[in-house]
Amino acid sequence: MKITNICCIGAGYVGGPTMAVIAEKCPHIKVTVVDLNEARIAAWNDDDINNIPIYEPGLNEIVGKARGKNLFFSTNVDKAIDEAELIFISVNTPTKTYGTGKGMAADLKHIELCARQIAKVAKNDKIIVEKSTLPVRTAEALKSILDNTGNGVKFQILSNPEFLAEGTAVQDLLSPDRVLIGGETTPEGQNAIEALVDVYANWVPRERILKTNVWSSELSKLTANAFLAQRVSSINAISELCEKTEANVNEVAKAIGMDSRIGSKFLKASVGFGGSCFQKDILNLVYISKAFGLNEVADYWEQVIIMNDHQKRRFSKNIVQTLYNTVSGKKITFLGWAFKKDTNDTRESAAIYVADDLINEQARIALFDPKVEQKQVLSDLNYLDTRQPEENANSITTFQNPYEACADAHAIAILTEWDEFKTYDWQKIYDSMLKPAFVFDGRNLLDAEKMRAIGFVYQSIGS
Ligand SMILES: NC(=O)C1=CN([C@@H]2O[C@H](COP(=O)(O)OP(=O)(O)OC[C@H]3O[C@@H](n4cnc5c(N)ncnc54)[C@H](O)[C@@H]3O)[C@@H](O)[C@H]2O)C=CC1
Ligand SMILES: O=C(O)[C@H]1O[C@H](OP(=O)(O)OP(=O)(O)OC[C@H]2O[C@@H](n3ccc(=O)[nH]c3=O)[C@H](O)[C@@H]2O)[C@H](O)[C@@H](O)[C@@H]1O
């Protein structure tokens, strides 16, 4: 089967960039990305390509090239479903906030709604692709919904998890380490897999396209994120030990990373990992393990989250302790709010939790992030529901200029590793601050020696 028409439900951080790259690399395929969120679709269609809703290096060029030719963004979900031979489901699957599994399990309500919508609209056979990250065996539930419509339409369900990282999404999509496709072992399942392989093979070498059964594919996605997050928690655990022993975590990371069995990537100690997925996917893994009675397995993975929470909390605690045990009324400047550099995504960013702790201690927070605005910052804080929204609004102020944000501050906390922070005139910043001028570098971004030579009391993670 040759695919000529693709629909993607969900125009978010995954759906948008993924479909833009498919459209660019497959000019013979019409790709329509649909979403219920009208404002988001309007932003994807904005005449000014710089206003698309997601900031990713290189994304606006790719969208700009394909949009209106074979890449379309629309709120007409039914029409796009009806026309497509292959439908990606790329909707959000957050941690449940209610009922059984609250705070642990993945909330699959959006997934189920998509399945029901497809079942209602489809008039001919279709391939349904799980692009969202899902608990292992979700395809079973999807199949049950889709196969019980009684309209004779046949569906094949594939799992094709996405491994892109934000900030490098375009590069990751153009040159993925691997593309994973899981499907049924029946001839129909294998045909569906081959149809999707043929789409990716337009730019991904075939030897990097991995075919498995559905369950392996679903579970591999959760496992990959768990392993990645575990490395960060592991090095962060060691960072605390370094601080007690005069070892330096950067040196330790380098020393162990040169062992080819360990490898050098993902060993950067930090204020804690953030992002919409690591925590959610590990909690999901823990929940599934517990559901199967595998308590030791669950406890093992839960420790990754416990360590990460500890790392965020001890960062804020250290700021308070170092500032003579009180930050009440003190101006503390945050550089960075996004959960990592080169993205405007702030979901689960460590900065949110550090700010929450410091506001509890009555600090006044000034913030500069090159891509995040006050509205988003307040929405992140209000989501925690720690205090009244007005109190959050009175406690944190976003600046457009980093130097203004830092002037008269007691301390600066670096929460995101934006490259531009390294290029600032730190002498000028030092001169404008109250003394002693403290810098808490949650990303080990700056040169400790240079900072101390200027006069800063400079503290980083793990040294
Ligand atoms: N953000 C990331 O870097 C990665 C995310 N993932 C996974 O991909 C999935 C999507 O993540 P994001 O793109 O970050 O989420 P997102 O929240 O940015 O986008 C999801 C979109 O789906 C839309 N939506 C929800 N229900 C809908 C429905 N019934 N009909 C039409 N549209 C609907 C929402 O309005 C939203 O715009 C999640 O399962 C996530 O775990 C996987 C790899 C990377
Ligand atoms: O499923 C997902 O959503 C994605 O989750 C992560 O991607 P992402 O969260 O976008 O970004 P990462 O580069 O993994 O960083 C996650 C967090 O860990 C932190 N981190 C990362 C690496 C490191 O060495 N140290 C460290 O503190 C980052 O600052 C960030 O807060 C995975 O890397 C992707 O493969 C996956 O597709």
The verdict on the CB of residue 161 being under 6 Å from ligand 2 is: no
Prediction ipTM score: 0.99
Residue owning the nearest CA to atom 34 of ligand 2: 165
Catalytic annotation present for 162 = yes
End-to-end CA distance of the chain: 58
Q: How confident is the model over 408-449, as pLDDT tens digits?
A: 999 999 999 999 999 999 999 999 999 999 999 999 999 999
Look up the pTM and report it. Answer: 0.97
Kindly compute the dihedral angle of the four CA atoms of residues 399, 402, 404, 410, in this order, to the nearest 10 degrees: 100
Decide if 356 contacts 381 (C-beta within 8 A): yes
Rg (C-alpha) for the chain, rounded Å, is 24
Q: How confident is the model over 146-188, as pLDDT tens digits?
A: 998 778 899 999 999 999 999 999 999 999 999 999 999 999 9
Say whether 298 sits in a helix, a strand or coil: helix
Catalytic annotation present for 218 = no
Contacts of 98 (CB under 8 A, 6+ apart): none
Tell me 95's DSSP state: B
Q: Which amino acid is located at 83 in the chain?
A: E
Catalytic annotation present for 123 = no
Q: How confident is the model over 333-380, as pLDDT tens digits?
A: 999 999 999 999 999 999 999 999 999 999 999 999 999 999 999 999
Give the bridge partners for 179, in sequence order.
209
Query: Which atom of ligand 1 is least distant from the CA of 114?
Result: 29
Enumerate residues lining ligand 1, CB below 6 A: 9-15, 34-37, 40, 77, 90-93, 110, 113-114, 132-133, 162, 164, 166, 276-277
**Percent of the chain residues topping a pLDDT of 90:** 99
* Cβ neighbours of 309 (radius 10 Å): 14
